[in-house]
Each structure stands twice: as C-alpha cells, then as structure tokens.
Chain A
Amino acid sequence: MRMEDIAGNHLAVRARGITKCFDDVVALDAVDLDVVAGQIHGLVGPNGAGKTTLLGLLLGLAVPDRGSLEILGMPAGRALAAPDGVTGFVDGPGLYPALTARGNLAALSALRGPGGQIADIDEVLAQVGLSDVAGDRVRGFSLGMRQRLGLAAALLTKPRLLVLDEPYNGLDPAGKKHVHGVLARLAADGATVVLSSHRMDDLEALCSEVTIVSTGRVVFSGPLGKLADEGREIDYRLVTSDQQAARQIAAATPGIGVIDDAGNAPHGEGFAVRALLPALDELVPRLVQAGIAVRGLTPLVSPLEAAFLALTEQQEEGSSR
C-alpha cells in the first residue's frame, strides 16, 4: 500500500495482505505495511485493534496465516527466525522482579554471550536515566521505570529494528521526554523504530509516519502531515470579546456548527465550534468586521487525534454493521 509515498526509500518492513487469526478471532485482516528504514513509525489504534499482534509478527513471535512479511530484507518464513538486530517488547517489558536492574541486563547480556553485539550495561542504563537505581531490585520499580528498563534491555542488543508496544505506558512527562530523546537518537543513528500506542498525541512529536489500525485492518498509513490534511471537521474553542454576538455570527456562518456554550467551557470562557479550516477562515473576518476581538481559537483535540478518532470510529461502525 502507498508504495509511491515512500518511493526510493529503503524499507525495514514490508507487509502485504497479512492475516492472523486466533481460533475464530481475526486479529489482523489483510494488513499492508511499509516501514521506512531509519524512521520512527507509529502504530496507533484503539484497544484490541491488532497492534500487539502485528508487533508480535514483526518480532518473529509468530508468522502470518496468510500474506507476505519481509523484515530487514528477510522473508518471515517461520516463527522465531527474525533477523539479527530485531528486538523490542510486546505486552510490556519482560523483566524479572527478583533481579536488580543491572542483573536483568547482565543476564540478558550473558545470553548473547561474549561474541554477541552487546552495548555497555552502564551506558544503556544512563541512556534511559536509571543509573541511580541500577542496583535496586525490579520488584520495587514503578511502571514507568520498568518501561525504561525494558527499553534499556532492547538497546543492549544494538537493534536495527526496535519494536515497542505501548512504551509510554506509565511514563510521566519527564519520562516521556527522556524516551523520546533515546528513540530520536536511535533513529538518527540509522535504526528503525516501530512503536505502538492507543493515543495519537504520544506519537505526534516523534513519528514521521503512522499507521492507524482498527479492528484488524489498516485505515490509514502514511506521513503525519497527510493524516492532518485528511480534511475532517474538528472542534475548536473560540474566545472573543463578545461571546453572545460571536455565537450568533458563528451560527450564521456556513460550515460552522456551534456545539458548546460558555457555561460548559473551561474557566467559563468561550464556546466550541465544529468546522473545517475554510469555514474558520470565513468566520474570523466576519467577527472582526462586526467589531468583535478574537482572543483565542484553539483546537480541542489535535488535528491528528481528530483524524484518528474519525477513522477508527468509521471503521468500527463499518465492522459492527
């Protein structure tokens, strides 16, 4: 799908029509996916959309029932035969609570053996900001610390394709920023990162491309900018010098729907409108011409989030029919 969008780029992952079922449940239904090498690719979708299954296939935990999947240039022919350099985690990082943070990494490092490509344990702990707790047992770690240690475990093996399932779960804003930095550096060094989330805003700041999955099918895949341009109505909060008059003008402007009033607005200010960008372009001059000062016009959800919600809702409605 959308081969023309990534023309000329090397692909780290190419999937065509992959389907995966668990008994009667179709977890993935004819999924196409291109992941450009050296980029951070987001996989987003509501809970149960099939993200984890797809990531499991990328990690080589299983093979698709139908379709073709190539990872780092190698066809996925059988389970657990993923190419060297593919690592990551699905369903949370795999950590042993009885071991310390350093012990977990040392055990993993020992698994690879002296000949394996292994990064320095202290270095990766420092990268994820866990140097201070390297000697603490993991059972006392918060969810966010576990996520960061899981990332450190993945970094230990110097990945070429890093697959992360919901890496932001449990992370505070500072932790998210830290992980962003680590992943951005990794991509800058040439590695490919595929990460999933059920929240679009987690991926906006980091990913160059996203794939939206809903009920096992891909509903969008491509650059974030293209997603934002999909031309869907989104909600904005409008704050003016005269709310009453502004509301009347908005209601009379073609393409503008007033969906809120000042009473429900945060801090008691403004009201919400639903519109496409061209309709807003029409509304603002009208307000100014009427002598009303526009003090704020901000989207209630990001354009990407709005597109995501619209696409996944459409897909779910289609599936339930």
Chain B
Amino acid sequence: MTATLIPSQTAAAARVPVARVYRFELVKLLAQWRVRLLILACWIGPGIAVAVVSQQTSLPADTLFGRWMHATGWAGALVVLGFAGNWVLPLITSVVAGDVFSSEDRLGTWRHLLVAVRSPRRIFIAKASASLSVLFVLVAGMAVSGIAGGIAAIGSRPLVGLDGHLLSPGDAFGNILLAWACVLAPTLALAAIGLLGSVVLGRSPIGLLLPAFAGIVLQLAQAVPMPAAVRLALPSYAFLSWNGLFTSPRQLGPLLTGSAVSLAWAVTATAMAYLLFVRRDFTSTANDGSVRRVITFGIAPLAGVLAVSAGVLAGVTGSTGAGLEQDKVQVSLATAFGHLYRLQSSELYHLNVTEAQLRVAASCTKGGVASAAGGPGNDWRCAVSWHLPGVNDATGQAIYQLDVNPNGRYVADGDGPQEVNGYFMLHTSAGDTPNPLWQFDGLVDLLTPTSKG
C-alpha cells in the first residue's frame, strides 16, 4: 500500500471581502488610545481655542483672518484651518497613516493577518481606506468644532474676504466648508507619503515621522522664493490655495492646480506603496527598509511628479518667475482698498459708495525700484489714490507698506494719512470698531498673467 493524500473536498480558502478587512482595520485603529485622543482633541479642541481667543482683547492678527475674530464667528474656523494646514494636519497624518503598515511589522502580526485574509491587495486597500476614514473624521471634527466655537462665541456675521469684499454669513459658511474640503487633497498627499513610508521603512520609527517631516519641509519650502510653477507643483501649496475662495472673483486657478498636484502626489505615493506591498515576501523577516528601496520607491517617483508638474505648469502658464509682478500687486491692493474703503465709509458715515465711484488705483515700488518691480519682500511701498465721492475732481491718497509673502499673501500696513489708515479704531455711532484700512490682508494670484505681459 502507498500513502495517500487526504481525499480532496478541499478548496482554496475564500479571500475575505474588503469590507470586512476594512472594519477589522478600523477596529484596530480605534482601539489605539492615541487615535481616540486625537479624535477627541479634533472635535473639541478647535472650538474651545476659537471661543477663548475670540474673547481676548489681543487677536492673532498675523494669522490669516485672525484680525476679524472679534467681527465674526466665521473667522475662527479659518484661523483653525490655516493653523491646521501648517502644523496639525501633517502631525495627524503621521499618527494615523504613518504607522498603519509599520505597526504590523512591530507587532509581528503580518503573517497572522495574511493567513486570515489571504490577499495583500485587500489588506492594502482596507488599511489605506481605514486610515483615510479616520483622517476624514479628524478633519471634519476640526472644521465643525472651529465653526461651532466661533459662532457660539461671536455669532454669525458677514466676513471680510481677502480682497476686502464682504461675504454674507451663508456665503462664508459655504466657502469655509469648501476650503476644508480643499485641504483634504494635500492631506491625502501627506497620508499617501505616510503609507509609502510605513511600507518602505518597515518597523523603523522613521516611517511614523515621515508625513510630519515631509509636511514641515514642504511648508518651509513655501516660504522660500522660487518660481510660481515650482511652488504650485508642491503639494503644500494646496494648504494655502483655499485662500482664493475668499476673493471676488475666486482665484480658482491656483486652487484647482494645487488640488490636482496634491492628488497626483497622493496617487503616485499610494501606487508605489501598493506595488511594494504586494511584492513583499512575508516569509522573510528582513523588512526594515533600505536606502536603495527608499530612493527607488520613495524619493525618485515623487521627485518625478514634482518635475513633471512644474514643467507642465511652466509650459501652460508661461510663467517662469515668482508670479508677484508689480502690476498684479497694484491691482490686488487697489481692489482690496476699494472694498475696505466702502466698508469704512459705511461704518463711519453710513455712505453707500461703490467701487466704480471710487476708481481706486495703486502705484507700488519695491526697494525703491519703480518700474518692473516684483518678488516677495517687506520693502513694497504703495500709494493708493481714489476719487472722493461727492467731491468734484478731488482725489484722496494713502500710503501702505506691504509685506508680500512668496506664496502671494500680503499684509498692507497703513502709513497715512491718519484719518484714513492712521487709527487702529474708528469711533462710529454704533461704538468703537476696528479700522478696516489700518492694516489688512490681501492675496495675489500667482498664476494670473500680468496685464503688461
């Protein structure tokens, strides 16, 4: 007689559906105290912070919309958004996405998971989806909490946009929701970098810090002078480009470009992570990352996306400079001044003047250069002139010092005359109110072609 194998009523075990693996991954993520703490902090923290800051006499005027936190509750949610884009979102992506694969390496649970699920592809999809779901809950929490805190503390009043025009509470609410939705794109990019780092670096703790590190480096890059095409090809620009929703008309070019670039980074990094993950040999215990693998699957593909994006943007827009040309600064400043002058006239004299009546114009120099000036810096000096409504042929003139950020934002600081922009507060019949022309924020569209050119 010879030995015989077990008679085969046996079939290969069915793979577990993605939905079940997704639920399994969510259970594991939500069982971690740090994730629970993050959820709690994101849903409560921003609201409390906005409510508290809104009650202070000194506001964070150096933060976008911070100077308007006394004026409307909607400003608080945007302050939270600006802060989150700089610091919080990279950190929470680190905690959630940066550890989602490497934690299995550290716990030694890969083989157990694979034996149970029998499909690396499904595990990857479930893990990526679960971490993105948690990230979505965290971002939604920050948005809802920031809005709720501001409205509860100050109330729903019109919001002054980045070109000085007034947004009704309804418009402000809609734009704020859109702005939070827009930062999901760069958050996805960082999350994908986190997934990639987590797969590439194995149990190395460096993977956990990668999204935070990448986020901070990319934010710092935004503060460095560089061609607009390169700036917009960095996913971090999408953390800023929501600003364009708060001008009239909206600056959709940078917004859509930033979002598209972020999604390209997200797709590339996720695809690399996927390829690496499904090719991994799980019977081998050595998976702590190698320099070659980091370069091949991590740095090279993303550098390629950056190069291609920058090349395409430069080609399509024809822009090779910083996008901060003199005439664009002048137009932006004149527009913002016109809107805010209307606001000041309305508050002081209850006058309903129009921008058409004012015919505001601005003339700027940078560092003493009067012609073809451009670029970021705090040495912009602008003279704004306008027609005084109701006074034949009389014009007014005001001086502003501009600090223009490389990413297109600027702060205009009034430098006289006193009656226009010299006083911090205005004495109105309704009481004292901040002078909108004393200091204000503005935004230059980096992608708009110059009128001269």
Contacts and interface: CB of A to CB of B under 8 A. Distances in A.
Interface of A: 3, 6-12, 14, 20, 22, 34, 36-37, 53, 56-57, 59-62, 70, 72-74, 80-99, 103, 107-108, 110-113, 150, 153
Given A60-B115, A94-B111, A85 B5 contact: no
Contact of B27 (A83, A84, A107): A107
A53 B283 contact: yes
A89 B111 CA distance: 7
A37 B107 contact: no
Contact of B10 (A72, A112, A153): A72
Given A82-B12, A83-B10, A111 B114 contact: no
> Which 4 interchain pairs have the tightest Cβ spacing?
A94-B112, A73-B8, A94-B109, A98-B31
B113 A94 contact: yes
B282 interface: yes
A12 B283 CA distance: 22
A103 B6 CA distance: 35
Given A82-B12, A84-B12, 6 more contacts: A61-B282, A74-B12, A84-B13, A94-B110, A98-B33, A113-B17
12 contacts: A3-B3, A6-B3, A7-B2, A10-B6, A34-B3, A70-B5, A73-B8, A88-B115, A94-B113, A111-B24, A112-B116, A113-B17
Contact of B107 (A12, A20, A97): A97
Interface in B50-71: none
Given A59-B115, A74-B10, A112 B3 contact: no
Most buried by A among B5, B23, B110: B5
A7 B32 contact: no
B451 interface: no
Given A60-B118, A86-B13, A96-B28, A14 B5 contact: yes
Interface string B4-27: 111110111110110011011001
Contacts of B23: 110
B301 interface: no
Interface of B: 1-8, 10-14, 16-17, 20-21, 23-24, 27-28, 31-33, 107-120, 281-286
A39 B243 CA distance: 70
Given A9-B3, A80-B118, A62 B10 contact: no
B93 to A, nearest CB: 20
Contacts of B32: 98
Grouping DSSP codes into helix (H, G, I), strand (E, B) and loop, the B interface class, with mixed when no group exceeds half, is: loop
Given A99-B28, A113-B16, A11 B112 contact: no
Contacts of A60: 115, 118
A96 B3 contact: no
B3 A61 contact: no
A60 B20 CA distance: 21
Contacts of A86: 13, 115
A3 B107 CA distance: 40
A286 B79 CA distance: 98
Contacts of A88: 115
B20 A61 contact: no
A85 B11 CA distance: 10
B33 A90 contact: no
Contact of A8 (B3, B12, B110, B286): B3
Given A22-B281, A73-B10, A91-B111, A108 B5 contact: no
Most buried by B among A34, A37, A56: A56
Contacts of A84: 10-14
A90 B111 contact: yes
Most buried by B among A9, A37, A107, A108: A107
B6 A72 contact: yes
Given A99-B31, A107-B24, A61 B114 contact: yes
Contacts of B10: 72-74, 83-85
Contact of B6 (A37, A87, A91): A37
Contacts of B4: 8-11
Nearest to B113: A94
B24 A110 contact: yes
A37 B286 CA distance: 33
A161 to B, nearest CB: 9
B120 A80 contact: yes
Nearest to B13: A84
Given A61-B115, A83-B13, A3 B2 contact: yes
Nearest to A108: B116
